[in-house]
A = this chain, B = another copy of it.
Amino acid sequence: MTARDYSLAELAEQLQLECVGDSSLRIVGLATLASAATGQLSFLANPRYQKELANTAASAVIVSPAMLPHCPVAALVSDNPYLSYAQATQLFKKQSEAVAGIADTAVVAASADIASSASIGANCVIGERVRIGEQVVIGPGSVIGDDVVIGPQGLLHANVTLYHGVSIGHSVILHSGVVIGADGFGFAPTQQGWQKIEQLGAVVIGDHVEIGANSCIDRGALNPTIIGNHVIIDNLVQCAHNVQIGDGTAIAGCTAIAGSTRIGSRCTIAGGVGIVGHISLADNVHITAHTLVTKSISQPGSYSSGTPMLETQQWRKAAARFAQLDAWIKKLSRFIKANN
C-alpha cells in the first residue's frame, strides 16, 4: 500500500500540462475543490462548481485556459480538465502491490501455464490448461475454470469466478463477485418439466474491459457471448447468453440484457434498464434509466420509457387514468367527430 507525492512540476510533466505558479509545490493527493486541503491537487471540470474555485484550499487546481484567470492558487492548465484529473488519479492510487508468484494456499492445476510476473492470490483455484498472461493479478479466493485464458495486465479482484473456457483479453479489470461463463438460461418445455439445454458456447471478453462487482456474463448456448474492447460495465449487471456488446459501450448498474441481443458500439445504457432478447441496437444509442427496450433500434439517439415521478397521491390518480386511457381517447375521438 503506497502512494507517493510529487512536485507540481513533476505532475505537469507526467500529465503533459502547462504549470502556472510555484512548480516546486509538493502534492500529496487529489481532492474536490470543496474538500481539498493544503498539499492537494483539485480540478474544475464542470462550470457549476466554478464558485468553489475562489475559496478552495487546494494547493493547485487543474483548470481550462478560460478558468485560469479565476484560479486563486497554482494551476495546471488543460484543454480537458476532467481527462487530466482522470489521468492524475493513476498517479495517486493506493493499491496493495501484488507480489509476483503463486500464493502457498492457491491450488493450481499442473497443466496451467502462468506467467512468471503474474500474481495468484491466497486460496485461488486455477483449473487445467489455464493460461495466465504477464503481470496479471488474481485476488484471493478467485476460481478460474479449466481452459480459461487471461491476457496480460489483467486484474481480477477477490472472489471472482470464471467458468471453463472463458477467454479474457488484455488489461481487463473484473471486480469481486463477478461470474463469467455460467450457463445461459436455456430450457425446452416438456410434459415432465424443463429439459435443460446444456450451454456449449464460450464467453469472449475483449481488451480494456472493466466489469463491476457481482455482475454476470453467461456463456453462449452454441456460439459465444461476446463483449467488445473498451466496454465498461457497472455492478450487478446481467448479460445473458449470446449477447454481443460493441466496442466502447458503457452499461450502468442493475441493467439486464436478455439472450442473443446485440448492442452496438459506443452506446451508453443507464442503470436499471432492461433490454429484451433477440433484438439489435445501433451504434451510439443512449438508453435512459429504467427504460425497457422492447424492440430493435436502428437509429442513433436517446430512447426512454416509464412515467415521471410524482407524489404518490397524484400518481395514483394518473395511474388510474392510464388504465382507462384507451376508453377516454375513443370517447374523445367520437365526441370530436360528432361535434365537428
Q: Does A193 contact B (CB under 8 A)?
A: yes
Q: Which of B107, B129, B315 contacts A304 (CB 8 A)?
A: B315
Q: Pick from A18-26, A27-35, A63-71, A112-120 the stretch touching chain B.
A: A27-35
Q: How far is the CB of A2 from chain B (nearest CB, A)?
A: 11
- Contact partners of A190 in chain B: CB under 8 A: 83
Q: Within residues 24 to 76 of chain A, which ones have a CB less than 8 A from any CB in chain B? A: 29-32, 35
A89 close to chain B: CB less than 8 A: yes
What secondary structure prevails in chain A residues at the interface with B?
Answer: loop
| Chain A residues with a Cβ closer than 8 Å to the other chain, count | 135
Q: Does A16 contact B (CB under 8 A)?
A: no
Cα distance A325–B321 in the bound complex, in angstroms: 7
Q: Mark A310-340, 1 if CB is under 8 A from B, else 0.
A: 1111111111111111101101100110010
> Per-position contact with B for A154-168: 1 when CB-CB < 8 Å, else 0?
000111010111000
Which of these, B32, B147, B200, contacts A1 with CB under 8 Å?
A: B147
A153-202, CB < 8 A from B: 157-159, 161, 163-165, 173, 175-177, 179, 182-183, 185-188, 190, 192-200
Inter-chain contacts of A6 with B (CB < 8 A): none
> How far apart are A36's CB and chain B's nearest CB, in angstroms?
9
Q: Let me know if A17 is at the binding interface, CB within 8 A.
A: no
Q: Would you give 12 A-B contacts (Cβ < 8 Å), ordered by A?
A: A82-B188, A86-B186, A86-B188, A141-B141, A158-B161, A159-B159, A177-B214, A302-B311, A303-B311, A304-B309, A307-B319, A310-B323
Other 15 A-B pairs with CB < 8 A, given A123-B141, A157-B161, A303-B309: A83-B195, A89-B198, A90-B196, A95-B164, A107-B122, A187-B210, A194-B230, A234-B238, A236-B238, A290-B292, A304-B312, A308-B319, A308-B322, A324-B329, A325-B325
